[in-house]
Each structure stands twice: as C-alpha cells, then as structure tokens.
Structure 1
Amino acid sequence: MKAPERPAGEPRLTTLSHGGGCGCKIAPGVLAQILKGAAATPVPAELLVGVETADDAAVYRLNDEQALVATTDFFMPIVDDPYDFGRIAATNAISDVYAMGGRPIMALALVGMPIDVLSTATIGRILEGGASVARAAGIPIAGGHTIDSVEAIYGLVALGLVHPKRVRRNADARPGDVLVLGKPLGVGVMSAALKKDRLGDGGYAQMIASTTQLNTPGPDLAAIDGVHAITDVTGFGLAGHALEVARGSGGQVRLDWARVPLLPGVRDLALQGLVTGASGRNWAGYDADVALPEGFDAADRALLTDPQTSGGLLVSCAPSVLDEVIAVFRRHGFDAAAAVGEVRAGTGDGARLVVG
C-alpha cells in the first residue's frame, strides 16, 4: 500500500497511535472494573436509554413524537491518509445514531492534535474528511473543541432524532429472533496488516469502503415492527457485541460462524498472524461467557473478537421479517448483509454466546 504524500519530516499518522481506531477501546473486563465504582446519578423519566446496558447512545424523550439521540466517539489514526482517517472517524461516530434507529441532525468535532508534529495542512485534511462524511449524512458540523495532544485524536459528538416508539436498544432481543449482520468483519486484521506494510492497494480500498459506509439502514430497520434490537459492531468485536445482545435479552446467542461475512482476504491475513492486540484483550475480557466448537482455529477466534472500526449493524428480528430486513440492507447498498445466528432462551449453563 502506497503511503500518502505528506510534508517532509512529518511522521505517518499511525506511528503516532499506540492503538488505532476502535482498537483503542479499553478492554471490556477493565472497563467493567472502572465503571463499577462510578457514582450513580439521578435518572429522569425522560431518559429512555442511559448507561444501564452499555448501549450505543443515550436517548432523551423531548415530547410524544421526538427523542434526542446523543453520542460521542473518537480515536487515534487507523490509517495514514489524513482525509481517510477523518472520514472513518466521522462515519464511526455517526453510526451510533443510526444504531438507535435515529436520524442524525448535527455534530460537533472533537480534535486533539500534536501541533508541533503535524502540519496545519495535515490536520486540516483530517477535518475535511470528517466534514465530507457529515455532508453525506446531510448534517452540519456545527462546532466543537480542540486541544494540543500528544497523539492525534479525532471524532464527533453526534446528535439525532427518533420517535420514542422507534428507539431500538441492544437489550430488547427476544428468544427465537434471527441475528443479521450488516457488514463483513476484518477491519482490525486489515489495520494490523497496514501497519506492517502488508496490505495491498485492493485490501486498502476494501477497508476504506467498509469503514466509510454510513449505517443508513438504521431508521428504516427501526420502522419494522418485528425488529426488536439493533446495535453496531465496533471495538469489542462481533463476540463482544453479541454478548451484549444476549445479556440484555436474558438468553443466549448462537452464531453460525460459517455464515458470518468476512472482508476479502482477511482470514489469510489472520492465519499469517496479522491480528491486533485488542482482539486478545477482548477475548480475555469475555472468554468465560463464550463456548467455541472443538478445534476452532485461532485465526477464526481472532476474527470473532476482531475490533471493528465503523462496523456493521447487528439486528435482532423476528424470523417473519427477515426477508424485509435483508431487503432494507440491500436497498442501502449493504450487499454482504447476512443472517448469522439466532437468540435462544437461556440454558443455565453459563455460556451466553455459543459459536457453531
């Protein structure tokens, strides 16, 4: 992969990151320990979604017809091209509004840059990339905040609106539901290959196409009565976010690994050991809740736990509306969307996620 042109003496963006994209997330087990001691705050009746289920965004009822969706997301560079970095970060942040069934209305930029290391032209290109995605989503970036930072950090506060009855949480799946995944997995593996200069131009193009595709099906999916829960697959990997769905439903999620879509070539990259450290941290954080089949390959486990930056929607729906759900994805250009598993009643054996 050819590196982007940059001012003389300026480092590659990824060399400024101790971890890129959603792979920067604090490991789930560590995060649980941190949040355990957080002081509880009063919860007004208008707060429809808060911190209780680790959902994608907060939702606050404004009136009988409107609720405000509020979220934020930011991270360090996952690619070296500043414009692409801005696009990926903005797409990822706005995705959380779509995952709640909402439509974005505006955003605020969060910018932390090492101003003694990066040129103003490079920083400007990052912001231009983010602005291009906001335009594609039909919203303004109406302000924000900037700081001088050791590492390059960019993201958005994203705000949206949703009808209170169309809010789709990650915790409302029902036994018997089918799980549909909107995008193929493998972004973390591709980012690991990119850092080691082992991702070709074709692979890079696939990675950018996936991470900059806005999850626009969200509102249309939320309008389907048989769609019970929606989340997006990001830093905790498919396993981590499927576990959130399982815990919220009080049941168990079963994944059919053979049906999970993967980005082209990523399994071969994983077999070569090109995986992120975050996939291992993810596994260590929730392995006790996952049952894998005998002989499950280490490369497949790395993909199951692979941190997805700007990943796809994970939808839990009644079997009767599966065709309609797939049709919505296809209409929005998500050709890889596929049914990948189901939600079952809890078995009492301790495993919340069973992979077959």
Structure 2
Amino acid sequence: MTATQAVRLTQYAHGGGCACKIPPGELEEMVRVLAGADPVHSPLCELLVGLDTGDDAAVVRIDNDRALVMTTDFFTPVVDNAYDWGRIAAANALSDVYAMGGQPVVAVNLLGWPREVLPFDLAGEVLRGGMSVAHEAGCHLAGGHSIDDPEPKYGLAVTGIADPGKLMRNDLGQAGQPLTLTKPLGIGVLNSRHKATGEVFPDAVDTMTRLNRDAARAAIDAGIRCATDVTGFGLLGHLYKLAKASGVSAIVNSAAVPYLEPARPALRDGYVSGGTRRNLQWISPHADLTSISEDEALLLADAQTSGGLLLAGELPGHPVIGELIPRGEHVLIVQP
C-alpha cells in the first residue's frame, strides 16, 4: 500500500462536507449587516437574485434571453478517497447552478492544502476528481486558486447561464403546489459513520456524485419555477428557507421521504453530526414536530452533502413528500 492509499483524509478535518457550514442561525446574524445595502446600478446588467432570500446562487440579467448564474462552494473532506472527494465537491458546487435552472459553463478550482502534511499527489487526485465531474457536466474547468491551509478544503467557483424567464428561485412557491425531492436523504449520518469507522458506503458516494442536471432540465420543462437544493441545512432547513421566502407554510409527509438504506442503522448507532443537531435546534421554533420522534426529526434535519433538488411542483419519477399551504402558525408542519 502506498502512502497515498493509506491516508484517511477525513481525519485531517474537524468535520466533513456541508456539515461544516456555519450554522444557519449564526449565518443569518452574520450577514444581517448586508441587509438594506444600496443596490449597485450597473449599466451592463441587472441583478435578478441577490442577498434578499438566501437563494442558491446570484443571478444577473445580461439581456432578454440570457442571465449569468454565479456561485461558489467548498468544504473539508467528506470521504477518505481523494478522487471521490473531488467528484463530490464538484457535483455539490455545480448543483447550485442547476437549482436556479441554469447550465454550468465555466468553473475554477478552490483548493486549501496542508502542503507539509499531505502529499501533493493526493491533491492531484482531488483535482482530477473535480475535473471528471465538470467534464461530465459539459462545464469548462480552467485554473483556480490554492492556499497553504491547516485543513484540506476543495470546491469550485462556477458560472452558468440561464433563461431569465425560466429561473427557478426559492421565493416563487405558491400554496397548493406539491413538494418533490429528487435524491434520498441520509447522506449526513452515513458520512459521519464513514469518518468515525472508515466504513465505505458506495450508494452514498453514487448519490453525492450524481449531477442534478437531468432533474433540473425536467423541472424547467415541466414549468417548475420554485426550487432549492438540499445540502448542509438539511431538508427541513432548506424547505424552511423556501417557504419563508415564498410567504407560505409547508407540510412534510415524513413517511414519503426516501432514505438511503443504511441511514437508519447509522442514526440508531449515534452517528449524528453537530451540524445536524444545530439544524434541528434552529428550525424547531418554526416547525410543528410533535407528531414525529426526535430520531425522525434528526433525519429530516440531517446535513446533506450534494443532495437532491427540492421542487415546488410534481416531477414524474420522483417522490412527492408534501405540499405548500397558506402561511399559518408554523412555517413547517411534519406529519407521520
């Protein structure tokens, strides 16, 4: 076994994947200073999606037919295999463009590397993984930026294009629309188990590396205009943001939510990240969770990495997990 093969990347980071996000409540407090800032009036483009609703990416209109979609995402290792980590991080970053109804066009690498601790051939495998997924997406990957960092970190800054008349946004949900989820949950607890034990879950890796491209295209063709992707704030957290931005409430039918098969055993054995517990703590004041167990609530708040799309609309081939309803006492209502 070579030195590269023996390295467990997840042991060089305090957390992993999107579970390393700054907790949503703290993030809201941090960016509050930006609220109400005077908008920039550019002669070149119009800002269509910015800070107001915490959407997945920024969007500016170039002309009547084209808008630019811009986003960035990076995180610490979520799996030990360097190539797979690169693929997962790239798919996760590209997902924000798909969640807005866009097509990724060009991306650049973002790499933090402990150069005196980990070999550079490992970093090369991370970059190779990222390139493989970018190429699968038909997205140019051209250059980037790297720094010497105590923890390994990797991701992409991505620019895409979209039709401004067909954007999917998190503030366009309407009461009466069904909620569709395009990937199963359970990624967070499985990644926590992998970090603790080294056990590999191929279905989890396959799920995280699967592009949201096809689901996004199908959603646009179906006329869906409200969406987000499910990542570090969990299903409940991202649905809360969508419902709040849209001025509606949401019902989740917990029995209809799909999970990867090993997820419940991982939860039973205690592999719950701190990010997941913080998600549940943040969402609880805004949700009626009295009809489900704490374990079920933790799974619904589980911090996902490179999760699926959450759509306000029905998409054939994917489960409907609830619906949007008029705004009530609670933003979220979870039923058994």
Show the 5 A alignment for 1:139-218: 139-197=139-197, 199=199, 201=200, 204-216=201-213, 217-218=215-216
Shift of 1:7: 1.1
Q: Which residue of 254, 257, 261 corresponds with 1:264?
A: 261
Show the 5 A alignment for 1:59-208: 59-197=59-197, 199=199, 201=200, 204-208=201-205
Residue pair 1:112, 1:153 contacting (<8 A) in 2 also:
yes
Shift of 1:175: 0.4
Deviations 1:262-319 (A, max 9, x none): 011211210121111111111122210011134x2222111111011000000002xx
Deviations 1:168-219 (A, max 9, x none): 10111000000000000011000111112173x4xx1011000000001213
Corresponding letter in the other structure for 1:117:
V
Looking at structure 2, the residues matched to 305 and 6 of structure 1 have their Cα atoms a distance apart, in angstroms, of 38
Measured on the aligned residues, the alpha-carbon RMSD in Å equals 1.6
What residue in structure 2 maps to residue 254 of structure 1? 251
Residue pair 1:10, 1:117 contacting (<8 A) in 2 also:
no
Looking at structure 1, the residues matched to 185 and 283 of structure 2 have their Cα atoms a distance apart, in angstroms, of 19
- Secondary structure in structure 1 of the residue aligned to 2:142: strand
Q: What TM-score do the two structures reach when normalised by structure 1?
A: 0.89
- Secondary structure in structure 1 of the residue aligned to 2:3: coil
Q: Kindly tell me: are residues 41 and 154 of structure 1, through their superposed partners in 2, closer, same or farther at Cα, counting changes over 3 Å? A: farther
Residue pair 2:4, 2:122 contacting (<8 A) in 1 also:
no
Question: Does residue 1:290 correspond to 2:269, yes or no?
Answer: no
Q: Which residue of 328, 336, 344 corresponds with 2:325?
A: 344
Deviations 1:86-127 (A, max 9, x none): 000000000011000011111011011000011111110000
Looking at structure 1, the residues matched to 235 and 324 of structure 2 have their Cα atoms a distance apart, in angstroms, of 14
Q: Kindly tell me: are residues 6 and 260 of structure 1, through their superposed partners in 2, closer, same or farther at Cα, counting changes over 3 Å? A: farther
Shift of 1:11: 4.4
Q: Kindly tell me: are residues 125 and 106 of structure 1, through their superposed partners in 2, closer, same or farther at Cα, counting changes over 3 Å? A: same
Question: Does residue 1:353 correspond to 2:336, yes or no?
Answer: no
Corresponding letter in the other structure for 2:230:
V
> Is there any run of 5+ residues in structure 1 with no aligned partner, and where?
331-336
Q: What TM-score do the two structures reach when normalised by structure 2?
A: 0.95
What residue in structure 1 maps to residue 272 of structure 2? 275
Looking at structure 1, the residues matched to 4 and 110 of structure 2 have their Cα atoms a distance apart, in angstroms, of 27
Looking at structure 1, the residues matched to 2 and 51 of structure 2 have their Cα atoms a distance apart, in angstroms, of 41
Shift of 1:59: 0.6
Shift of 1:8: 6.9
Report which stretch shifted further, 69-78 or 213-222: 213-222
- Secondary structure in structure 2 of the residue aligned to 1:285: helix
- Secondary structure in structure 2 of the residue aligned to 1:156: strand
Corresponding letter in the other structure for 1:30:
E
Corresponding letter in the other structure for 1:135:
H
Residue pair 1:169, 1:231 contacting (<8 A) in 2 also:
yes
- Secondary structure in structure 2 of the residue aligned to 1:207: helix
What residue in structure 1 maps to residue 22 of structure 2? 26
Looking at structure 2, the residues matched to 206 and 10 of structure 1 have their Cα atoms a distance apart, in angstroms, of 22
What residue in structure 1 maps to residue 10 of structure 2? 14
Looking at structure 2, the residues matched to 37 and 50 of structure 1 have their Cα atoms a distance apart, in angstroms, of 15
Looking at structure 1, the residues matched to 205 and 126 of structure 2 have their Cα atoms a distance apart, in angstroms, of 15
- Secondary structure in structure 1 of the residue aligned to 2:34: coil
Shift of 1:6: 4.9
Looking at structure 1, the residues matched to 56 and 13 of structure 2 have their Cα atoms a distance apart, in angstroms, of 24
> Is there any run of 5+ residues in structure 2 with no aligned partner, and where?
none
Aligned-pair identity (%): 42
Shift of 1:224: 2.5
Q: Which residue of 216, 233, 238 corresponds with 1:236?
A: 233
Corresponding letter in the other structure for 1:31:
L
Deviations 1:128-150 (A, max 9, x none): 00000011101111121111111
Looking at structure 2, the residues matched to 62 and 307 of structure 1 have their Cα atoms a distance apart, in angstroms, of 35
Q: Kindly tell me: are residues 6 and 291 of structure 1, through their superposed partners in 2, closer, same or farther at Cα, counting changes over 3 Å? A: farther
Shift of 1:164: 0.6
Matched length: 330
Q: Kindly tell me: are residues 132 and 352 of structure 1, through their superposed partners in 2, closer, same or farther at Cα, counting changes over 3 Å? A: same
Looking at structure 1, the residues matched to 245 and 32 of structure 2 have their Cα atoms a distance apart, in angstroms, of 18
Looking at structure 2, the residues matched to 21 and 253 of structure 1 have their Cα atoms a distance apart, in angstroms, of 27
